[in-house]
Amino acid sequence: MDLTRKMTKTQNQMNNDVKVPDGAELIDEVFYVWKTRMGLYSSMTKHGRKMTTGLKKEDVIGMTRWRLKCEQEGTLDQYTRVIGDAYVGGKL
């Protein structure tokens, strides 16, 4: 089996395994947004990668679009930083 056919088969398996939540709405043919049981809104790509969660649907849509755009352009690292190191010293 050649590499192209193998990759296509793997991609099809990934697409078939995505479980779209009930009530999810497909935005821009790229990602889903839905209301969670806690009243928040969450998003995930068509391939099943979870993206963002927020209080307002419009904010989740905007933030997901921005993040996907940054990932596509390769500029996400310009807006990302680590604060703290979560190191716990001493004996617990």
**Per-residue pLDDT reduced to its tens digit, 56-66:** 999 999 999 99
From first to last of the 92 residues of the chain, give the pLDDT tens digit.
444 444 444 444 455 689 999 999 999 999 999 999 999 999 999 999 999 999 999 999 999 999 999 999 999 999 988 888 878 877 76
For 4-52, the DSSP string reads: HHHHHHHHHHHHHT--PPTT-EEETTTEEEEE-TTS-EEEEETTS-EEE
pTM: 0.71
Kindly give, in sequence order, each residue whose CB lies less than 8 Å from that of residue 4, ignoring residues fewer than 6 positions away: none
